[in-house]
Structure 1
């Protein structure tokens, strides 16, 4: 009998200052306090002021430095927040053991959809399963983008202003990992479920299955074979909502007698193609491809009974999968970088 895998721990980092930067800021603030103490000793005329106020300032500076040293010490495991892959459950554990949340169970089918900003300085992994959808994220500086280029190349580009890129956890706080920690988590999940990076598993607003993998798309009670020829196009349309007008983006898909319109709200700001370079590298070429997949021509609103509402973050991954599927001889449109 195969023994269960050893538990794995993936530390979550604070989205604000790291401990080292926070300690550096405290050291900087302590310097003016010490200088002020020396100036008072040299210039104050009152004996009381010269004796007591500098002592108070020095004590305040010392307290800041001591607090900085405490923050530089390794955190006790019980005080850390992060993800735990224990047995077949991926859990979010709060600081000090303040509750745990099940993000997914690896014994069931699950999906991991990678999304990135156009600059590839932020990546989010959408975790989807029968438990619902959750997300974890990581930020990448220049060296990290080069070191993890293969991982970033697998991510679909979305707008930088998307709320989903904040990767808010079920406890209301962002789940932010370091680049290497996120890569290690994805390696572990891929080892347990090969193909999970090409899959998502959800239900739509009507309770029907909404799923995608490398072979098929299921939506609105219909199944589309991604290994067989199909037709698709991207479009935008408007609809009045009372006194306001809502702008939507849609993806029309047809294969044989099956036909649907996947719809969601259009982002307030579509990412620009400018600034990606006249001779784009591999990551830029992927971003250009995905940014072009976002474009759609204006059309009339589709029939309501044929619409399937989807999460806006999933539109580009779906279009990317459709773009790789074979085309009927009469339709040759593809988004190319």
Structure 2
């Protein structure tokens, strides 16, 4: 007999059995409510069983379920793979990006082997807690299965690991790999000298104010500022979070904490801004930080205007 059935039976007895003294009825009612409440709590904490599966074949990667088959990526089209992970969280998101869409696969990253840890560290970027915690109760691939999916994608295209395809707020294409950052018709050569810096700024619209993260890039006179909303929270407050962020993956996320730090600046000019998806800002900074000839520069010091002498009538 289940707890729900037992609780319902006790409650029915408390209400329907004739001749029971009032104190006994109240006691049985309290017991029944307690049993039903405990059963509801246990049921709420039970992980949902998955009704879908990730299938890789010669055509691509897809998710199959009772509702049908939904494609994730087609091997014949350009694609990129990134792991969005948070400090001390056992889950992450495998992000498959193409020039036309982004698809996410929830994956567990705890209990990973040493080889899987190395693989995840190569494609992981630090993501905000709201994004990762939002999939904490969804059915996720095991760390071993997630690594198998990534390796299968690598076999199809070795350059796909860490590559990202996005679009800006107007729909213009953005592509990022270890050699090139392209934004619509503009292109930045990441193997040549360029300057970049992280920054943040706030902007008010009427009575509302918003905080933004941004990355400024300049090369050969071309200048762009990638902009995204500032995440609400990156580092968890749990005391054991730093101990959980271990291995190569943990060290990669720790490095991203350094890349996250940025000074506050005045809002950049609107004609150089390009809006990108918030989870991928750290992917841009990671590639820039690893670019061999890229220089991370500081905000130029603002010169104070020289005081002008007072006109004399003499």
In structure 1, what is the Cα distance between the partners aligned to 2:102 and 2:187?
A: 22
Q: In the alignment, which residue of structure 2 is the partner of 1:107? A: 76
Aligned to 1:238, what secondary structure does the other structure show?
Answer: strand
The 3 A distance-change label for structure 1 pair 165 and 136 is farther
- Compute the RMSD of aligned alpha carbons: 3.7
Question: Is this contact kept in 1: 2:196–2:297, CA < 8 A?
Answer: no
Question: Is this contact kept in 2: 1:116–1:157, CA < 8 A?
Answer: yes
For structure 2, the residue ranges without an aligned partner over 5 or more in a row are 11-18, 21-48, 299-314
What are the equivalent positions in structure 2 for 1:1-337 lying under 5 Å apart?
29=3, 80-95=51-66, 98-141=67-110, 143-144=111-112, 148-154=116-122, 155-162=124-131, 166=135, 176-271=140-235, 276=242, 282-327=248-293
The 3 A distance-change label for structure 1 pair 164 and 196 is farther
In structure 1, what is the Cα distance between the partners aligned to 2:71 and 2:246?
A: 40
In structure 2, what is the Cα distance between the partners aligned to 1:270 and 1:235?
A: 16
Question: Is this contact kept in 1: 2:73–2:96, CA < 8 A?
Answer: yes
Cα deviation for residue 166 of structure 1 reads 2.6
Question: Is this contact kept in 1: 2:200–2:214, CA < 8 A?
Answer: yes
The 3 A distance-change label for structure 1 pair 161 and 321 is same
Cα deviation for residue 216 of structure 1 reads 0.6
Cα deviation for residue 281 of structure 1 reads 5.0
Corresponding residue pairs, total: 265
In structure 1, what is the Cα distance between the partners aligned to 2:266 and 2:113?
A: 41
**Structure-2-length-normalised TM-score:** 0.72
Question: Is this contact kept in 1: 2:227–2:274, CA < 8 A?
Answer: yes
**Structure-1-length-normalised TM-score:** 0.68
In structure 2, what is the Cα distance between the partners aligned to 1:283 and 1:85?
A: 25
Aligned to 1:127, what secondary structure does the other structure show?
Answer: strand
Deviations 1:92-137 (A, max 9, x none): 2222xx2222222101111111111112522211111134111102
Question: Is this contact kept in 2: 1:139–1:178, CA < 8 A?
Answer: yes
Cα deviation for residue 241 of structure 1 reads 2.0
The 3 A distance-change label for structure 1 pair 165 and 216 is farther
Structure 1 runs (4+) deviating above 4 angstroms are 30-33, 272-275, 330-333
Higher RCO (CA < 8 A, seq sep 6+) = 2
In structure 2, what is the Cα distance between the partners aligned to 1:165 and 1:195?
A: 29
Cα deviation for residue 301 of structure 1 reads 0.4
Cα deviation for residue 85 of structure 1 reads 2.4
For structure 1, the residue ranges without an aligned partner over 5 or more in a row are 1-25, 37-44, 47-74, 168-172
Cα deviation for residue 198 of structure 1 reads 2.2
In structure 2, what is the Cα distance between the partners aligned to 1:272 and 1:86?
A: 38
